[in-house]
Amino acid sequence: MFNTLDWIIVGYYCVGIITLATYVSRAKSGQERSAEDYFLAGRTLPWWAIGASLIAANISAEQIIGMSGQGFVVGMAIAVWELTAAIALIIMAKYFLPIFLEKRIYTMPQFLEQRFDKRVSLVLSFFWLIVYIFINLTSVLWLGSLAINALTGLDLFYGLVLLAIFSLAYSLSGGLKAVAMTDAVQVILLIFGGLAVSFIALNIISESNGVIEGMRVVLNEMPEKFDMVLSADNPSYKDLPGVWILLGLGVWIGHFFYWGFNQYITQRALAAKDIKEAQKGVMFAAYLKLLMPVVIVLPGICAAILFPMLEKSDQAYPTMMSLLPNGLLGLTFAALIAAIVSSLASMSNSISTIFTMDIYKYFKNENVSQFNLIQVGRMTVIVSVLIATLVAQPLLGSFESIFQYIQNFTGYFSPGIVVIFLVALFWKKATSMSVLIAALISLIASILISINFPELPFIHRMTIVFILSALGCIVTTYIQGYKDQIKAIDLSAVNFSTSKAFNLNTIIIIFALVCIYVAFA
């Protein structure tokens, strides 16, 4: 368990990251900070900061603890969400980002306002605020507090409060630049911590005969944990339905919703100085995604051998961390804290951006000063984190697997959101009413299917709902006249070309994924 050395290391990390955030986000002497500086880092983020920040925003407690827990139960098959995300990132960089950056938007709802009208923008704004606060923020805070409790014995509520205060301390003043630039450090710690847990666990499993021998033992004792495509008789087939997790529409609907049209992910790329820098950053993130199964799923598989009687699967990663020697335990714990607070900061910053730029600025209905926008943004961060801290335990305390809870809940909305953005980007005839109908169908159909067909895998449900939402959008458009809309995107004016390096790296990543699935399928 923790000793003085571990606490010293964690303390140095906390002080260091706050100091770094304060330094990189300081305003130039005599220059007033603008909303663009606060919410989009002045559109100056370099590629390495974009890539690191994408991963740091994504990999948090619900990923590290939740996916390790699923590794404990299911095995490496759960890594499909990490591995195939690399492809989704590449598609986002090539086909979505050029349009978003050309529009110079702050938020995803702002893009929908430019393409449709304010009604669509407001509906999506309120939707994202609810999801980010009551699903994303709460799950990260709750799983983070569980990890702190398991390792230090600190009361769960106090763990929630400490995480909330820490995330506010380094992100509140500096905005996105403070978050993104410190994420480069956070990602190094995150990857190092996960690899340290995996390597030490494998060495223990091999009885100190090395990592390679440990991997051989794991493969021999639990070969089923490395089935990348589950058979129909597997207890987890409902969550990962065989080959359909790769070939079906469901997983790609989830990916495009998350990586393509999700504010707290795309906001990093929107802060790039140009499209080429954004695409380099996204490609960097795609490569890091290929590492994630070893970093966050393998520890859960090792836990199934070392601690097979765990009460809850989400205890796997914190329990594995207890194997680490003091000093390394403190450093790895700092890595876990890094993942948690970077995601908290990313989510709260996106909440403040949407509320300030899409809701407050609209209803204020007058010229608002840059200073006022920043102050409202900061207050929104505080309020959103406070709400999430108070509701986290009552809302999530009874769930066995938070990761699957998140996947299932967001699956209610994601098909309709993906339909809305795809037609907004690529179909000139889509109308405001047609996309609102698509959103309504998505919610109603998801609820009805869940109630009447509870055993249907949720990615199949997402596919069905996506098709129904798309048909609703198309039929409504026909009823309204089926003609090109004035605000439609002129795709002929958008440059979708990518560099030779981007294309070569795309081939490398696809080849790597094919090799992985051929080897383990």
* Residues 132, 129: Cα–Cα separation, whole Å: 5
> 521 falls in which pLDDT band (50, 70, 90)?
low
Residue 502 burial class via C-beta count within 10 angstroms: exposed 0-12, middle 13-18, buried 19 and up: middle
Q: What's the confidence (pLDDT) of residue 403?
A: 59
Residue 425 burial class via C-beta count within 10 angstroms: exposed 0-12, middle 13-18, buried 19 and up: buried
The tens digit of pLDDT for each residue in 268-289 reads: 888 888 899 999 999 999 999 9
- Structure-token pair, residue 445: 């159909």
Q: What's the confidence (pLDDT) of residue 19?
A: 83
Is the pLDDT score of 399 beyond 90?
no
- Residue position matching structure tokens 């795709």: 491
Q: What's the confidence (pLDDT) of residue 400?
A: 58
For residues 336 and 202, the model is more confident at 202
Is the pLDDT score of 150 beyond 80?
no
Q: What's the confidence (pLDDT) of residue 507?
A: 97
The tens digit of pLDDT for each residue in 294-348 reads: 998 999 999 999 998 888 887 888 888 888 888 888 888 887 787 788 778 878 8
Written as one string, the DSSP assignment of 191-226 is HHHHHHHHHHHHHHHTTSS-HHHHHHHHHHH-GGGG
> 174 falls in which pLDDT band (50, 70, 90)?
low
Mean pLDDT is lowest, of 172-176, 189-193, 218-222, 479-483, for 172-176
- Decide: helix, strand or coil at residue 279: helix
Q: What's the confidence (pLDDT) of residue 402?
A: 60
Is the pLDDT score of 93 beyond 60?
yes
- What the chain holds in terms of domains, given with CATH numbers, is 37-403+497-520 (1.20.1730.10), 411-489 (no CATH)
Is the pLDDT score of 458 beyond 70?
yes
Residues 6+ apart with CB under 8 A from 285: 50, 51, 52, 54, 55, 89
- Decide: helix, strand or coil at residue 45: strand
Q: Please, what is the angle between helix 118-131 and helix 328-354, to 10°?
A: 150
Q: What's the confidence (pLDDT) of residue 434?
A: 96
* Residues 503, 96: Cα–Cα separation, whole Å: 16
Is the pLDDT score of 164 beyond 80?
yes
pTM (predicted TM-score): 0.88
Q: What's the confidence (pLDDT) of residue 350?
A: 85
Is the pLDDT score of 40 beyond 80?
no
**Within 10 Å of residue 452's Cβ, how many Cβ atoms?**
8
The tens digit of pLDDT for each residue in 400-442 reads: 556 556 666 777 888 999 999 999 999 999 999 999 999 999 9
- The one-letter amino acid code at 268 reads R
Name residue 272's beta-bridge partners.
Answer: 45
* Residues 36, 24: Cα–Cα separation, whole Å: 16
Phi-psi region of 59 (alpha: psi -120 to 50; beta: other; left: phi over 0): beta
Quote the percentage of the chain above a pLDDT of 70.
93
Q: What's the confidence (pLDDT) of residue 285?
A: 95
* Residues 251, 458: Cα–Cα separation, whole Å: 10
